[in-house]
Structures are given as C-alpha cells and as structure tokens.
Chains A and B, each alone.
Chain A
C-alpha cells in the first residue's frame, strides 16, 4: 500500500514540474557553462580601479596602477581634492567644504541650487548641534529663508530643521534624525556625486551595479529554470539547484 502512495506522490511531483515547466540544469552542466565564459583579467582590474577611484581611495589607486598596470579613468590628483571636501562635510566643517568646492570649481554650487541648499542646511544643523541658538536663527533668517521663498520644498526642509530648536530633548523629537551622522553622510555623498559629475565622470562605481544585476538576473532566471544559485555574494559559493 505504501508503495502505491509513493508512486502517486512521484506522479504528482512530475506533473507539478511539467505544469510549471521549469528547465532543470544540473550542477555539472552549469559548471561547464561557467567555465566556457571568458572573463578578461584586464576587465576585472578595470572594475577594481573604477571602484577605488570613484570611492576616493587615492593611494590605493596609485599603488594598484603600479602593481596591476590598470589605468585610472580620472586624474588621481582630482580625487584628493574631492575627498577633502567629502571629509570636511562628514566631520561637520561645512563652511570649509563650501570653500573647497568653490576652489575646485565655482560652477558646481552655482549650477546646483539643491546641493547648495543642503550644504547650508547642514551648516544650520551644526550650529544647532553646538548649541549656538542665536547664530543659528540669524543664519536661518539671512541665508536660508530667501532660498525657501523661491522653492516650496526648500521651505519645508528649512522649517523642519528650525523646529529642532523647539525641543529640549532632541534625541526623541520627530526631526531628531537630522542630527544623526547619517544626515552628514547624505550631504557628503551629494557633494561627492556633484563633483564627479562636473568632471564628466560617473558618480557611482560600477561594481555595486553589477552585483545588483546578478541578484536581478538570478531572480529573473528563477522563473524559467532550476539551476545552481549563488545566494551568498561574499563567498560566491554555488548552491545545488532545488528540485
């Protein structure tokens, strides 16, 4: 009797597989395909160099050029300047950052009103963080309010920021996140991206996009086939297809 039920179950499984009609690719077959693919060493080096350069690892990029022969796609000298600006914002020295950006290229802030507003907003946040209430209010009224009048979303942001002053315990208030370091990092990334764009370079490294594409491609392929997946990107191990 139990053999009968085993057979029934197997038939049901086969029928289910046929209904979903998913192709099954064995590990052996998949590994053979992987080996047939040609990946050039120079292309991988280029990918790594692109990462180092976009993320601002100047010395590492310089050493990598010597050790691997890969050529950076930006002038390494410009990276140091860009990193100085980014770091200044990350440390809360916004005035310094603005000065540096203008030294680098005055057009960047001129052509980027949103970036400029966010930098000024960060300045305001730092003043509030340091308890300089009077200075903060003066700054908000003189520098930021005029921008707010030109642009509704700037005005809303300005009001949010100023509301920090209304709270004794800023860590618990609804706009407390503005004081978080993540806000500084957001602004820092924005200015980093603007500088890269002004240098006609892409603002994001290619590697993360390729990794996202891998996740996407696997998800897409899941609909059509059962095959060995890589689920943990950090160690790139193949997992046998679930059949």
Chain B
C-alpha cells in the first residue's frame, strides 16, 4: 500500500480534500475524524453566543424628546408634540439576534397620554430617531393610535386593533417565513412580509409621541403575555407539514439502511434484516441498481465483521494478527495512519486495564516514532497524556477511553479493506456510506440556504434533530 506520509507537512490540515487519488493514505481521513472527536474540537453551539437585547439604548435615542427611566426599561414623553419630527424613539441596546427561528419582545402601555401615539416595531441602524418606526425605509411599526402597520413610508395599512393604556403589545420576527408579527394582549394580531427590511440589521424599537405617554418594555426578563413557545411550535409544525408532503421513492429508507449495514460490515444485523424483509407484507423488492454496487460492498463482509468485533472488544493484537494473514499490504507500512491508529489503540487498551508499565514500554517501541510527524502528533500526545492521570477517563483526554474511539479504529480498518477491492472505482465509496453522503448534503444545503438569507434562522444540526424527539427544523 502506497503511503504518502512524506507529504504530511504539505497537505492542507492533513485532510484528504479529494477522494480521487488511489495513492492517498485513506487512514488520514480517520485520523482527522479522531481529532475532531477530541475535546479540542470547536463545538457548534453558536446560537448561545449571539447577544440579545436586554435594555433600551440611551445613547442614540431621541434625546430631549423622551425620558428614560434609570432601569432603562421604560420611557415617557414629557412635552407636547408639535409635528411629525419630534417623536420620542428609542431602540434596544443590541440588534435582533438572527440565528434562531423567532425573535420577540413586548411593551406594556402604562399611560396613553394625550393622543395614544405609541408604536412598537423594528428599525435599522442609523434610523432617524425623530420619526415613528415605519415612517422611514427599513423600518416597520404597529401604531397604537390607528392600529395601522407602517413599513417604509408615511402612509400605513390597516392592520389590527388600536391599543391604549393597559394593553400589552408584542412585536416579533419570524426568520423562516421572513415576516414580522404583532400581538395584542396575548393574541396574534397579524403578520406582514419583512423581506426587504430584514436585509438590514434591525433593532427592537418603541416610540412615544404625545404628552404623558408612558411605556414599559419587556425583552424577556419577565414572562410574556403571548405564548411564544406555543407559536414557535406551531410555526415549526407548519414547516414540518410542508416537508412531510414530499413524496419519496418507494423503499428508499430501507435501501439506505441496508447499504449502511453493508458498508460498515454489520453482517449479523444485515442477515436478520434481509430475513425479516422477506416476510414483510408487502415484500420489499430492492431493485438491483447495478449488481456492481452490491458486489463491491458485499466484498469481504465476513472478514470486516470479524475485525470490527475484535477491535470493539479491545483485542487489538488479534486484529493485527488477522490483518497480517488476510491483508498484509495494509499493515506493511508501519508508518501508515492505519498502523498508527492500531498501535494507539493497543496503547489505550493497556492503559484501560491499568498495565501502565507495559503501556510505557509499548509506547516507546511503537509510538515514539510518530512524535515528529504533523498529522500524528496530537494523537500521540493525547495518548501519552493518559498516563498522567489516576482516573484518565475523567480527564480531558478521557475521550480516548470511550467506545467511540474503538469504533473509529474499526471504521478505519473497514475502509482500508474496502479499498483493496479491485473493482472499487473511487475512494469515497470506501470512506462514506450513501446515508452519510446524504446527511452531509442536507447539512450543506441548509447552511448555504441560511447563509444566502444573511445567516438568519436556525442552523441544522443532525445531533440535535436526533435527540430532540421529533421536531425537525431547518
């Protein structure tokens, strides 16, 4: 087996970016996967990092036209208004967070003052702070005096009921439907398209415009009058229902599960699966796309199963011995990623049973030579670090002791065996099952779609979908 370890320093991050070259060491793919599985990998909890509005922004508000309370959560209009350019407008301290399905906030009208000219809505950065939200472009506002919705010009549209003292009014953004929505006293008033406005960075905005008006704002520090969670669930359901209507080719799931089992060498499961499918009603017929595909993956099924079993049970020596018998070319080059992963795993198994002296001896013989090589360095360091702890499983390198690490080594061996199939055209077939490719495509499409929408909306995480109990979101 040709190994290209001499290119270690030059390859981009050690990741094989193209699967075409038959000479590439496939093992490097799994080595990189192992690194991603370690605790040093970045997590994907970006949604928690986005800051949300907490209070009103007193720096860029309308200055003398309104008075903000010290807690920065309520405003009053103290004077008599004279014209359309002395509105008391104030935005929140942070822009609306975008990496989620919905954003929402509420106001409580304490005092409707002389004319009840209160507004709630969203405005962009640099908004003219003497105008009602909605009266200028890139802004939108639901006004209490006429119940109209204004978005982008001085003339508004009839939208909902007026509101006054004692009312709780809410304004929100729905990124999935690209709409603004407003509520009054816990009930939805309506929605309006906001595609144009949402292209700018928007701030939650409130405004007062006649003497003695007083408004309190709630950015989520108190319970909302509107059941936001319920609304969110309904919106998710709507999207889910649109998706569920899509038709799938017959038996596609069945076929993908079957090829997954074949790909990874889960022979016993496959046998049970095939047996059961014969007696389902109606019986499932899988069209042989090209017998070619099937044969490739049935290749060495039993051997791959046996090796996976050995590795998952920690019997690394036995696994290496069998590999020497069956596929000597795979373990010939001791510096290949495959051999490296096997040696590391043996080391890990020795640590697991507490045979630390033996582990050290083994490490000196088999692992030391990898210290200088770029791709392998991190794993050697992590393995050796295991020795430093009384309870290594609780340490930052504890991930090495988990079953997933054994499984990764088993997957590597599995891929290497598949690569010895003379009929195997491209290497991707050895590395990824069809199911995996589809899941990657799904994730990539969702990410690109969100990016095309200015990064608005939720990201797709397979892990969350699988653990969320059914609420699929995209």
Which one of A47, A185, A208, A221 contacts B448 once the chains associate, using CB atoms below 8 Å? A221
Return the contact of B449 from the options A33, A69, A220 (Cβ within 8 A).
A220
Contact present for B449 and A57 (CB under 8 Å)? no
B15-A208 in contact (CB<8A): no
Complex CA–CA separation, A34 to B447 (angstroms): 11
The complex places the Cα of A213 from the Cα of B460 at a distance, in Å, of 11
Asked if A42 lies at the interface with its beta carbon under 8 angstroms from chain B, I say yes
Question: What residues of B have a CB within 8 angstroms of the CB of A225 in the complex?
Answer: 448, 452
Given contacts A32-B17, A38-B36, contact A69 B407 (CB under 8 A): yes
Closest residue on chain A to residue B449 by CB atoms? A221
Chain A residues 142-170 with CB under 8 Å of chain B are: none
Chain A residues, Cβ within 8 Å of B404 = 41-42
Q: Is the CB of A37 within 8 A of B440?
A: yes
Complex Cα distance A54/B443, Å?
24
Known contacts A57-B276, A214-B438; is A224 also within 8 Å of B266 by CB?
no
Chain A residues with CB under 8 A of B271: 63
- B246 — which chain A residues lie within 8 A by C-beta? 212, 215-216
The secondary-structure label for the interface of chain A is helix
A-B pairs with beta carbons under 8 A, tally: 185
Q: What residues on B are CB-neighbors of A235 within 8 Å?
A: 289, 293, 434
Residue B436 at the chain A interface, CB threshold 8 Å: yes
Partner pick for A44 among B18, B243, B435, CB 8 A cutoff? B435
A contact residues around B281 at 8 Å (CB):
87, 90-91, 181, 185
Residues of A within 8 A of B228 (CB): none
Q: CB within 8 A of A217: which of B18, B308, B474?
A: B474
Q: Which residues of A contact B244 (CB under 8 A)?
A: 209, 212
Check if B322 is an interface residue, CB within 8 A of chain A.
no
Q: Is the CB of A230 within 8 A of B465?
A: no
Least CB distance from B288 to A in Å reads 11
A47 to B433, CA, bound (A): 13
- Of residues 435 through 454 on chain B, the ones whose CB sits less than 8 Å from some CB of chain A are 435-449, 452
Q: Are the CB atoms of B442 and A213 closer together than 8 Å?
A: yes
**Closest residue of A by beta carbon distance from B36:** A38
A22 nearest CB neighbor, chain B only: B452
Known: A202-B469, A233-B248, A236-B435. 17 other contacts (CB 8 A): A25-B448, A31-B18, A44-B436, A48-B435, A67-B308, A68-B264, A185-B282, A206-B472, A208-B248, A208-B253, A209-B240, A209-B243, A214-B441, A216-B474, A233-B438, A236-B434, A236-B441
4 A-B pairs with least C-beta separation: A236-B437, A217-B445, A60-B272, A236-B434
Query: B interface vs A, CB < 8 Å?
Result: 15, 17-18, 36-37, 41, 44, 240, 242-244, 246, 248-249, 252-253, 255-257, 260-261, 264, 266-269, 271-273, 275-276, 281-282, 289, 293, 305, 308-309, 312, 403-404, 407-408, 411, 433-449, 452, 462-463, 465-466, 469-470, 472, 474
Question: 24 A-B contacts, Cβ less than 8 Å apart?
Answer: A34-B437, A38-B44, A43-B463, A43-B466, A44-B260, A47-B466, A50-B466, A60-B273, A63-B269, A64-B266, A67-B269, A207-B256, A209-B243, A210-B438, A212-B244, A212-B246, A212-B248, A213-B442, A214-B442, A217-B474, A221-B448, A224-B449, A233-B438, A235-B293
